[in-house]
Structure 1
Amino acid sequence: MKKQQIRNSFLLLLTAVIWGNAFVAQSVGMNYVGPFTFNSIRCFIGGLVLIPCIGFLEKQERDTAGISKPENRKMLILGGVSCGIALAAGSSFQQFGILHTTVGKAGFITAFYIIIVPILGLFLKKKCGPFVWLGVVIALAGLYFLCITESFSIGQGDIYVFICAIMFSLHILVIDYFIQFVDGVKMSCIQFIVCGIVCAVPMMIFEHPSIGALVAAWKPLLYAGVLSCGVGYTLQIVGQKGMNPTVASLILSLESVTSVIAGFLILHQKLSGREMFGCLLMFVAIILAQIPAGSVRKKDNIAIKNDILC
């Protein structure tokens, strides 16, 4: 595996850790503000955080190369808007789902994007090798043991979270397409501004947030805005570059594992044997997804792009 792929895998893993801890912030924040308000404010915070980062990176590039690289502004704007709309839809359905279902079900159904991404990828001619599909099956089993602790049933919240999983799957595939043409940090900044605007419209119509409520929710909003949005989603965009979207979705699904760990460390919730077994299965799935197909196809004359699985 190339160094860039190892680095990108680490960035996606770090993203999963940040997102896993964000479940705590989302749960606390919803005690003070509505779903649209929470998503809109945190996205605006995330976008504002990235503006000075973009200026710093451009200055570094000019100092190093002497001139900034030309960029495709049309693709940058189109990619940022597309990602922002998908992010707004996915995060909003997730927030509403959390209001009407258990955290265990929400975590399991949200992570269903590890199945949806490769299925949608087939329509985009993104074929995957056997280790990826085996990893998907094992990851699903791991998520079941990790998240589902009561008899499974379909409710209103479950439907919302399932739609959220579809939207996040589209978000991953949209990033996979546009990241090859544009700067990831700039596209991330645009997606947050777009997501913030999209969520602000229903926020003003249905929720009418007060200044007092926003002040009371400042801690979860700052975490979700600065780390979950500003850092997490940007690491996702940068980390997905050159990675197969199915492999990326498997790594990102580790947010379910880290959310359980965060609950143990922050909320003092104990891990059961069932949950620990689910964590183990998730890690096995990630390792399988990273095995190069060439290691078991030595006689295959087809070049494996980027020396990875798919």
Structure 2
Amino acid sequence: MKHSLAADFSLLMVALVWGATFVLVQNAIAFLEPFSFNFVRFALAAVLLFLWLFLFERTQLTKASVPLLKSGFILGLLLFIGYAFQTMGLELTSSSKTGFITGMSVVMVPLFSIVYFRQRLGFNALAGVIAAAAGLYFMTMTDINSLNLGDGLVFICAIAFALHIVMTGKFSSQYPALLLTTVQISTVAVLSGISSFLFEGWENAFNPKVLLSGSVLSALLITSILATAAAFLIQTNFQKHTTATRVALIFAMEPVFAAVTGYLWAGDRLSYSAIFGCCMIFAGMILAEMPGELPKGFRKIFILPEKKGADREA
């Protein structure tokens, strides 16, 4: 129980960092294009992780294996797909719809966990997912109207992020966290670099005038250290002590933290519906932490035959 609470709190801090750095990233990509920004961000994080690995956790290097490299590559690929399709979708749809559709990964995670791992879905977890999904809608409903191609691209992003959470839960208990995270982050850096070369003005990723400008440098340093190296190491290390559904609900707090920091730092204003949505997301996260079982009438729908060893409740 103590491990689970520590894991949930640590993951909540990750969501806080991601939400708090949203404004920084938004300002930085006005000067450095998204793939280029992610290339530098994830490359710096990969270097930091490798240095820590080499200097303080060198014994983990002896545990490197083909299965670990494949697992790290899968996680990195899913993470890259999420960022890439979110970026492409943002060019064709609104930020409000992007936030809502991306946040729907909170609904996809328990569904993937049920189908893939045959995990039991607790009643409070189900209620928490519904509350969080409703909260995401109320936060962004002012711009939800007809669907377009951009929405479809962002939906692929949501699937990728949901699968990333689910697969992190699978791999995190099998391999050393630091080594697995280093491979994952390095994969995102390489794929972002290739995409920058193919689709953007990649020269800016090596232009000192751009990299050393105030908004870009501060965003790169904060996101590479806190929002990437530390955040994904924490997720990989602690997700083994909780469930994928709880992780998804905790990460649904990211837009809440983004809204709060936007209000405090950038002078953004929150509508009454957005405030209500924030409260719904928070209530969903708290509800999922409470003990409870699924009523008997729902068990045939939400509980599938379990695979051997799959005894955690989502």
Say which of 210, 214, 217 aligns to 1:213: 210
Contact 1:75 1:178 in 2 (8 A): no
Alignment partner, residue 82 of structure 1: 74
Measured after TM superposition, the shift of residue 168 of structure 1 is 0.6
Alignment partner, residue 232 of structure 2: 233
How many Å separate the matches in 2 of 1:14 and 1:306?
A: 28
What is the number of residues matched between the two proteins? 295
How many Å separate the matches in 2 of 1:133 and 1:229?
A: 29
Say which of 93, 97, 107 aligns to 2:89: 97
Alignment partner, residue 267 of structure 1: 266
Read off the aligned partner of 1:40 and give its amino acid letter.
Answer: F
Secondary structure, counterpart of 2:145 in structure 1 = coil
Say which of 96, 119, 124 aligns to 1:131: 124
Read off the aligned partner of 2:129 and give its amino acid letter.
Answer: V
Gaps of 5+ in 1: 60-66, 298-304
Contact 1:292 1:308 in 2 (8 A): no
Alignment partner, residue 23 of structure 2: 24
Measured after TM superposition, the shift of residue 229 of structure 1 is 0.9
1:282 aligns with 2:281: yes
Of stretches 69-78 and 97-106 in structure 1, the one that deviates more from structure 2 is: 69-78
How many Å separate the matches in 1 of 2:170 and 2:66?
A: 14
Of stretches 21-30 and 131-140 in structure 1, the one that deviates more from structure 2 is: 21-30
Name the % identity.
28
Alignment partner, residue 34 of structure 1: 33
Secondary structure, counterpart of 2:87 in structure 1 = helix
Measured after TM superposition, the shift of residue 9 of structure 1 is 0.1
How many Å separate the matches in 1 of 2:191 and 2:272?
A: 42
Alignment partner, residue 102 of structure 2: 110
Say which of 153, 171, 180 aligns to 1:160: 153
How many Å separate the matches in 1 of 2:100 and 2:28?
A: 21
Contact 1:289 1:309 in 2 (8 A): no
1:6 aligns with 2:5: yes
Aligned pairs (5 A) from 1:26-65: 26-55=25-54, 57-58=56-57
Alignment partner, residue 73 of structure 1: 65
How many Å separate the matches in 2 of 1:183 and 1:57?
A: 13
**Per-residue deviation, residues 171-229 of structure 1 (Å, max 9, x unmatched):** 11111111111111221111111111112112112213321333332222222222211
**Per-residue deviation, residues 23-50 of structure 1 (Å, max 9, x unmatched):** 2123112211222212211111111122
Measured after TM superposition, the shift of residue 52 of structure 1 is 3.2
Alignment partner, residue 174 of structure 2: 181
Read off the aligned partner of 1:252 and give its amino acid letter.
Answer: F
Distance 1:296 1:287, change over 3 A: farther
Segments of 4+ in structure 1 off by > 3 A? 67-72, 212-216, 293-297, 305-310
Contact 2:120 2:313 in 1 (8 A): no
> TM-score under structure 1 normalisation?
0.87
Contact 1:139 1:282 in 2 (8 A): yes
Contact 2:119 2:312 in 1 (8 A): no
**Per-residue deviation, residues 52-79 of structure 1 (Å, max 9, x unmatched):** 33345527xxxxxxx8797363332122
Alignment partner, residue 194 of structure 2: 201
1:149 aligns with 2:108: no
How many Å separate the matches in 1 of 2:168 and 2:125?
A: 20
Alignment partner, residue 63 of structure 1: none
Gaps of 5+ in 2: 297-308
Secondary structure, counterpart of 1:292 in structure 2 = coil
How many Å separate the matches in 2 of 1:255 and 1:34?
A: 23
Measured after TM superposition, the shift of residue 122 of structure 1 is 1.9
- Indicate the RMSD between aligned Cα atoms, in angstroms: 2.5
